[in-house]
Structures are given as C-alpha cells and as structure tokens.
Amino acid sequence: MHIRIFSLLFLFMTTGVAIAGTGPSDQRPSTEDLEKWMVKERRFSERQILRNISPAGSRFGAVLASPSHEDPDYYFHWVRDSAITMDVWMRQLEGSYPDSMPIHLTPVQLEVLLWDYLSFSEFNQGLHGYTGIGEPRYNVDGTPNMLPWSRPQNDGPALRASLFIRFAQYLALQGRWETAVRVVWPVIRRDLDYTATEVLKGSFDIWEEAKGDHFYTRVVNRAALVSGAKLAAATGEAALSAWYSTQASIAESLALAHLDASKQLIVENTHREDGLDYKHGGVDTASLLAFLHSPQEWFLPLNNSFLFNTMGSLERSFASIYQINQRTAHLAPAIGRYPEDRYYNGNPWFLTTLAYAEYFYRLGDRIKGDEYMQRVKYHADASGHMSEQLSRENGYMLSARDLTWSYVAFLTAYEARVKYTSLQKEVE
Ligand code: NOJ
Ligand code: NOJ
C-alpha cells in the first residue's frame, strides 16, 4: 500500500502535469509543417463553421456560437458572433480572396447562406425581447433569449449592418440594386437607426461584462454609420444620410477619447456604469479586434503606435501570468482577453491569439504572424478542433467546444497570410 502510494507520487513528481501540445517542446517548429497544417485547418474550419449554421431543428440562418449545450451553454445565435462569422462567406462572395485560395462553395451556395442569415435577422428585429435591437442573443428558433444576460450590447447591430451593407453592394454590382433596396436595405436601416440613436449611450462590452463606453463598440458603430450614410444617399434618402454622418462623427470622437496620450495606450473601457468591477488596467485585446473588424479606410492606420503599445503591454502581462507561456517559452505567448479576466479562471483564447497572428500578417510580417499561428497549432487537437479557451496552466482546451468564432479567426488570419505575406500557392 505504502509502496503504491509512494511510486504513484514518484511518477507524478517526475512527469509533472502534462502539457497539451502536439509538437516536441524543445524543437523549433517548422514553417513547412505549419503550412501543411494550415491548409488542412482551413478545410476543417470551414466545415466546422458550416455545421454550426442552421443546425437541425433551428430556423434557417441561425449561427450557433458553439454546439455546446452546457458548461457553458452557447447554443444560441449571438448577434456579434454571427456577423463576424458571416463575414467569412461575404468575403468569398465579394471575390476578395486571393486567387491562390480556392473557394469551396459556389456563389449560389454562398448567397443562400447570406439570404438565410438575412431572413433570420429580420425575424429577430421584429421581436422586442428586453432591449429591442440591442438584444445580444437569440434562441435558435429566432426568438429573443429571455434569460438574465448583459444587455444591451450595441456592437452587434453595427456589425450586422456593416455586413448587410456589403451584401447590398454586392447585389448592386450584380445588377440587382432593386432587390438590395427592397429586401436588404430595410434590415440595414433598423440596425443603423438603432446605432445612430444610441451612439452616445453606454452598453455592455463585447465580453458581456461591464456596461460603459467601449472602444470596440465605438469603432464598429462608426464604421457602420459611415458606410450606411453612403448607402442611404444612394437610395435617395439625403436627410437620413446626413443624420448617419453626424452620428458617425460623434462615434469617431468618442472612439478617439479612448486613446490615452500620456500612456500612449488604448483604454478599451471607460465610464463604467454597471457590471463587473475588477478590470482595472483598461487594456484589452478587444481594441485589436476593433481594427480587425472594421474596414481599413479608418482614421488610424493598423500600424499606429497606440495599438502597437497596447498589444505589447497585453502580451507582456500574458507572458508572465499564464504558466503555460513559461512552460512552452519556445513559442510566442498565448494571448487572452485582458489580464484581470476571471472567466473560467482567466485563460488564453484561440481567437485573441489568432488576432495577433492576423495583425502581423496584415502588416506583411509573416515571420511574426507565424509565431502566433504556431502557438495555435500547438493547442488545437490533432484533428483540428478548437474550443474557446485553453488552460492557463496546462494548455488543454477549455470552455465552449468548437467555438465558431475560433474557426473564423483562424480563417481570417490565414487569408491575411496568403494575401499579404506570401507568393506561395496553397497546395492541396
Ligand atoms: C458570460 C460571458 O459570455 C463571458 O464573456 C463573461 O466573461 C462571463 N459571462 C462573465 O461572468
Ligand atoms: C463570450 C464572449 O465573451 C462573447 O464575446 C461571445 O459573444 C460569447 N461568448 C459567445 O461566443
């Protein structure tokens, strides 16, 4: 008996706690392996996303945040996540993919995805819930989810409007302007009217934790109102267009107020009114996502020093507070939401680590981007599954399995790599 306990203990002491990962930890990961992995992961991610769209028993157009029903229950259509997800298909339909990346769905299939999403969204908009257009999530039958939740969240309608504005532009280019105005424009307008009306008010942040002013929300509000003003003008609604433009300038100055000139950082959240109160530093990966989720013709270029310093500050914190980053220091640090995070004990997330990769790829720095991509590859499982988080202690996947947004973040990062950093062809 004693011997057994002793030997078990001995075994435990010598092996330590296992670390999740697929590569030998002392070797420099190879670019060739990474490239092969990314090609496979791209197919896998697209399939996983499609599985999470219009699942059996749902209303067509529902986009699951994750198929997980419990711990956590993410079996809902989040307004934010679904708009971020549909961007993947919209990009393919717009033809903005690099030629070397073959598209696996036909234009008709891509359009069906968007039309379903449009009719689901229109159904959502017609039901009031607690906060009308500000509702953060819907049941898969399209009705507002009435559980206690952080509401309103005012980034979602803007993201959705921006997506449908692009869809309307696509239809116009196809010679289907009349359809765009008759069918798509009313849906866009409801979201823009809400965004324009609420622009000065606080709402819950993208992590659904605190009510107040948020850089991310301001930036995506501005982007939607700017392109909405152009579309309104094109439909002949001059007064509406002028109102959207005015509200866009307000959103822009509110966004600029998050740039802290003395610290040279972006302070993501200010003027907290409600919600959790332990987030003291104010720096958050959401600020990077603000840039990645809005068009590039913005008042600050992607390579601005505020964002760069913010990302550096976050990375230094994550490198020191997450044990996994010290245990696997041969890889770039895994990135979380913000240092004080306590959700599931506060861990790195796939989508935020992938956002770092995308940032460097977009700036043309393949080597740096690959370092974060290698980190992601290390924690994904052998078949390519990605959940929402990975344990800060041992790197194993945690929280919602097959998070749609994780796959989306992989796809946009990978697309940026192919588009901005390499001439190599995707070999399949
Ligand atoms: C659930 C939210 O979705 C998550 O983002 C947040 O961190 C926790 N609630 C906070 O309790
Ligand atoms: C929690 C995240 O914090 C939030 O951003 C997301 O919308 C939901 N999970 C659903 O994925």
Task: Calculate how far, in angstroms, residue 242's C-alpha sits from the geometric centre of ligand 2.
Answer: 33
* Residue 395: closest CA among 25, 14, 26, 8: 25
Q: Across the strands, what pairs with 275?
A: 210
Counting every residue written for the chain, the total comes to: 428
Q: Residue with structure tokens 């399209």?
A: 142
Q: Which ligand is nearest to the CA of 147?
A: 1
pLDDT at residue number 130: 98
* Residue 415: closest CA among 113, 94, 166, 109: 94
What's the CA gap between 285 and 220, in Å, rounded?
15
Q: Which ligand is nearest to the CA of 278?
A: 1
CA 171 centroid distance within chain = 25
Residue nearest atom 4 in ligand 2 by C-alpha distance: 207
Task: Calculate how far, in angstroms, residue 10's C-alpha sits from the geometric centre of ligand 2.
Answer: 41
What's the CA gap between 35 and 39, in Å, rounded?
6
Total H helices, total E strands in the chain: 15, 9
Q: Across the strands, what pairs with 398?
A: 389
Q: How many CB atoms lie within 10 A of CB 275?
A: 17
Residue nearest atom 2 in ligand 2 by C-alpha distance: 207
pLDDT at residue number 21: 63
pLDDT at residue number 353: 99
In degrees, to the nearest 5, what angle opens at C-alpha 150 toward C-alphas 145 and 154?
95
What's the CA gap between 232 and 239, in Å, rounded?
9
- Give all strands (DSSP E) within 162-264, no chain letters: 203-204, 210-214, 259-260
Ligand 2 neighbour 208 (Cβ under 6 A): yes
> Which atom of ligand 1 is the closest one to the Cα of 341?
7
Decide: helix, strand or coil at residue 342: coil
Residues lining ligand 1, CB < 6 A? Answer: 207-209, 343
> Which atom of ligand 1 is the closest one to the Cα of 343?
7
The answer to whether 404 touches 52, Cβ cutoff 8 Å, is yes
* Residue 35: closest CA among 374, 402, 349, 407: 374
* Residue 95: closest CA among 173, 182, 10: 173
Q: Residue with structure tokens 């697309």?
A: 415
Q: Calculate the alpha carbon distances from 304 to 298, 308, 311 in Å.
A: 11, 6, 11
Q: Do you find a cis peptide bond into 186, omega within 30 degrees of 0?
A: no
Residue nearest atom 3 in ligand 2 by C-alpha distance: 207
pLDDT at residue number 2: 40
The shares of helix, strand and coil residues in the chain, as percent rounded to the nearest 5, are 55, 10, 40
- The two tokens of residue 187 are 């849906």
Instruction: Give me the helices (H) in 95-184, please.
Output: 107-125, 156-173, 177-179
| DSSP H or E stretch at residue 156 | helix 156-173
What's the CA gap between 25 and 202, in Å, rounded?
45
In tens digits, the chain (428 residues) has pLDDT values of 343 333 333 333 333 456 766 554 556 789 999 999 999 999 999 999 999 999 999 999 999 999 999 999 999 999 999 999 999 999 999 999 998 899 999 999 999 999 999 999 999 999 999 999 999 999 999 999 999 999 999 999 999 999 999 999 999 999 999 999 999 999 999 999 999 999 999 999 999 999 999 999 999 999 999 999 999 999 999 999 999 999 999 999 999 999 999 999 999 999 999 999 999 999 999 999 999 999 866 778 999 999 999 999 999 999 999 999 999 999 999 999 999 999 999 999 999 999 999 999 999 999 999 999 999 999 999 999 999 999 999 999 999 999 999 999 999 999 999 999 975 555 44
Predicted TM-score (pTM) of the model is 0.94
The answer to whether 106 touches 82, Cβ cutoff 8 Å, is no
Q: Residue with structure tokens 């290390």?
A: 378
Decide: helix, strand or coil at residue 187: helix
Out of 155, 285, 343, mutate this one to test ligand 1's pocket (max ligand atoms within 8 Å of CB): namely 343
* Residue 209: closest CA among 126, 258, 252, 268: 268
